[in-house]
Amino acid sequence: MSAVLVRSFDEWRAAARSLIVRRVPPESVQWISEEGGDLLSGAADELPLAQPAAAPRVPRRLMDMLESAACYRAGDRWAFLYRVLWRWHHGEQEILSMADEDGGRLQQMVKAVHHEIHDMHAYLRFRERPEAEGAPRFVAWFEPAHDVLPQVAQHFAQRMGRISWMIATPEASVLWDGATMHSTGPLMRSAADIDDAGEKLWLTYYRSIFNPARLNADIMHGHIRSRFWKNLPEAAVVPQMVSQAAAGARKVGQLDTVGKRKGATIPIAAEDAQPERQQPSTLDECRRCDLWQNATQAVGGQGARRAKVMLLGEQPGDQEDLAGKPFVGPAGELLDKAMDQAGMDRRKVYITNAVKHFKWEPRGKRRMHKTPGQREVMACHYWLETELETIAPDVIVALGSTALKSILQSGSVSLKDYMGEPFQHEGRWVVATYHPAYALRVPSPEARAEALAAMVGALRTAQRLAEGGPPDAMPA
C-alpha cells in the first residue's frame, strides 16, 4: 500500500502523475491529508511495480474539472480524483458522462464548487478599518463550505486593484497588499466588531427602501441561504423590520411615502394603453414580430417527437416557405448528404429553425434571403422554448450563428468561438457548426469540402453525446 501525503492540488497532480507512470492502481494508494510522512513515501519500496507506463495525457476540460473538484470538501476527494484519472488513462472515457457513477459525482462536485465561488462573490462583505489601524484597509469574514478561498481571492484582487484587504475564514486567511497575495492560517473569527462608517450609511439606505407592504419573509430567506445571513450586515436590521411589519407597519407601508406624493401625469397615446395580450397558441396566429406579413406561412419543426438530437437552423428559405416544411431546398439537400455521411437517420431527429417565418427582400422576380435581426430572433424564441419543452432533446446542433444566438439569447456571440468544442447550456449539450447554406455560398470546392466535413463531424459528435459518449473535440 502506497501512502501519499497531499496538501494541495499541485501536490496531488505531481503524485498522481508519478503513480500512473508506475502503474499503481487506485486500490493500492492511501491518500493522507494531514501532516506527517513524505510525499509518495513507500510507493517504490512496498509495491512490485510493472514496467513504467507513458505519462498520462489529460484533456484541458478534464483537468479543469479535477482542479475544481479538488476544492470540494470530502474525506476521499484525493482518492476519488485519482480513480477518475486512472479510469481515463485506461480508456474509460465515459467518466465524463453524468450516466457514469463516478462521472456523475465528479460533475456534482464541480457544480457545488462553482456555486460556492458564486455565493462567496455575492455575499462576502468587506468592512473598512480606521486608517490608524494600518493595513489591510478592508477586512471580510466568510465561512465557505468548500476550499474556494484562492479562487475568490484572485477575483477580488482584480476587482479592487491596489487597495489592501484581507479575507479570513475558519481554515485560512489571504492578505492582498495591493501587489502581492499572502496566505496564512486563520487570523480572526469575525469582522463584526469593526466600526465601519460606510456600512452604517448602507444600513440607513437599506431601511429607507424597505417597504413593509410588500414583505414576504419566506421569499427573502429563500433567496439567501441561512448560513450567509449571520455574516451579512443587513441581518442586524432585518428582524426588527420584519417585526414592525407584522405589528402593523405592513398596512400603512404606503401611507407616509407614496400616499403623500401628488404624482405626475404621464401622457400616453390611447392605442398604446392596451392590456397585455394572451400569447398565440399556434404558429399561424403568431404576430410577435412583423415577418408574418410577407411570408407565405409559418414553418414549424418536423421529426421525431421525442428525439434525442435537435437540429436548429436559422429560418425557412424560399422553398421551405412555399412547402411549409424545414430544410427541403438546396440547403436541405446538403444537410441530408451530411447526415448520410455521419450515419444519422433524419427520421430519428427533430429539425426546426430559430425563426419560423421567411425574411426576404425582392431582387428582380426572386425573393432573396435576408438575415433575421436579433429582435426577430428573440421574438421567435417563445416557439423554440415550446419545442425544447415538448421534444426534450439531449443535444442541440446549432446550424449557423443565428441558431447559436437564439440558444444563448445573445446577439454578441460568434460562431467561430464555439465551433470544435461541444458545451452544455441549461442541461443540454450544444454542438455548433456551419449552416448548410454557408457551404453552398463559399466560392472554392476546397472550402465547400471543409464546411461539409465540419458539419459531418458535428453531427457525429451530437450522436455520440446523445448516446452518453464523451465530448471529444471535433474538426473546426
Domain ranges of the chain: 2-117, 124-184, 206-249, 283-466
pLDDT value at residue 272:
64
> Given a cut of 50, is residue 35 above it in pLDDT?
no
pLDDT of 249: 57
Residue 128 pLDDT: 86
- Look-up: residue for cell 509495491? 47
Residue 117 in this model has a pLDDT that exceeds 50: yes
pLDDT at 49: 42
Q: What is the reported pLDDT for 193? A: 65
pLDDT at 273 (0 to 100): 60
- What pairs with residue 362 in β-bridges? 367
**pLDDT by residue (tens digit) across 443-459?**
899 999 999 999 999 99
User: Residues 242, 215: contact at Cβ < 8 Å?
Assistant: yes
Q: How far apart are CA 213 and CA 208, in angstroms?
A: 13
* Predicted confidence (pLDDT) at residue 198 exceeds the cutoff of 90: no
CA distance 156 to 148: 13
pLDDT at 469 over 90: no
pLDDT at 473 over 70: no
Top-confidence residue, 265 or 4: 4
pLDDT tens, residue by residue, 155-173: 999 998 889 999 999 989 9
Q: Which of 171-185, 211-225, 379-393 has the lowest mean pLDDT?
A: 211-225
Q: What pLDDT is recorded for position 42?
A: 37
- According to the model, what pLDDT value does residue 46 have? 41
Which range is least confidently modeled, 133-142, 281-290, 374-383?
Answer: 133-142
- CA torsion sign for 311, 312, 314, 316 is positive
pLDDT of residue 224: 72
Question: What are the CA-CA distances from residue 23 to residues 48, 89, 142, 171 (Å)?
Answer: 10, 10, 41, 35
Q: Is 3.30.43.10 the CATH number for 283-466?
A: no
pLDDT, mean of residues 258-279: 61
- In this prediction, residue 16 carries a pLDDT of 92
In this predicted structure, the answer to whether residue 39 has a pLDDT above a threshold of 50 is no
Q: What confidence category does residue 384 fall into, taking pLDDT thresholds of 50, 70 and 90?
A: very high
Residues forming beta bridges with residue 167, ordered by sequence position: 140, 174
Looking at residue 256, what is its pLDDT? Answer: 53
Distance CA 442, CA 461 (A): 24
Give percent above pLDDT 70 in the chain.
Answer: 84
- pLDDT for position 7: 86
The mean pLDDT of the chain is: 85
166 contacts 187 by C-beta, under 8 angstroms: yes
CA distance 311 to 293: 26
Confidence of residue 204 (pLDDT cuts 50, 70, 90): confident
Does residue 177 contact residue 169 with C-beta atoms inside 8 Å? no
Checking if the pLDDT of 373 tops 50, the result is yes
Q: How confident is the model at residue 37 (pLDDT cuts 50, 70, 90)?
A: very low
pLDDT digits (tens, 9 = 90+) for 286-339: 988 999 999 999 999 999 999 999 999 999 999 999 999 999 999 999 999 999
Query: Rounded to whole angstroms, how far apart are CA atoms 240 and 245?
Result: 9
Q: What is the mean pLDDT of residues 13-27?
A: 91
| HEC letters along the chain | CEEEECCCHHHHHHHHHHHHHCCCCHHHEEEECCCCCCCCECHHHHCCCCCCCCCCCCCHHHHHHHHHHCCCCCCCHHHHHHHHHHHHHCCCHHHHCCCCHHHHHHHHHHHHHHHHHHHHHHHCCEEECCHHHCCCCEEEECCCCCCCHHHHHHHHHHHHCCCCEEEECCCCEEEECCCCEEEECCCCCCCCCCCCHHHHHHHHHHHHCCCHHHCCHHHHHHHCCHHHHCCCHHHHCHHHHHHHHHHHHCCCCCCCCHHHCCCCCCCCCHHHCCCCCCCCCCHHHCCCCCHHHCCCCCCCCEECCCCCEEEEECCCCHHHHHHCCCCCCHHHHHHHHHHHHHCCCHHHCEEEECCCCCCEEEECCEEEECCCCHHHHHHHHHHHHHHHHHHCCCEEEEECHHHHHHHHCCCCCCHHHCECCCEEECCEEEEEECCHHHHHHCCCHHHHHHHHHHHHHHHHHHHHHHCCCCCCCCCC
C-alpha cell at 93: 472515457
Mean pLDDT to the nearest integer, 415-430: 93
Mean pLDDT of 34-42: 38
The per-residue pLDDT for 40 is: 34
pLDDT band at 109 (very low <50, low <70, confident <90, very high): very high
Lowest mean pLDDT among 30-44, 369-383, 408-422: 30-44
Cβ contact 316:356 at 8 Å: yes
Q: Give me the mean pLDDT over the 336-344 stretch.
A: 96
Q: Cell 513515501 identifies what position?
A: 41
Question: Mean per-residue pLDDT for 86-113?
Answer: 93
- Give the model confidence (pLDDT) of 60-91 as tens digits: 999 999 999 999 999 999 999 999 999 999 99
* pLDDT category of residue 242 using cuts at 50, 70 and 90: confident
Q: Are 150 and 67 in contact (CB under 8 A)?
A: no
Q: Output 37 or 103, whichever has higher pLDDT.
A: 103
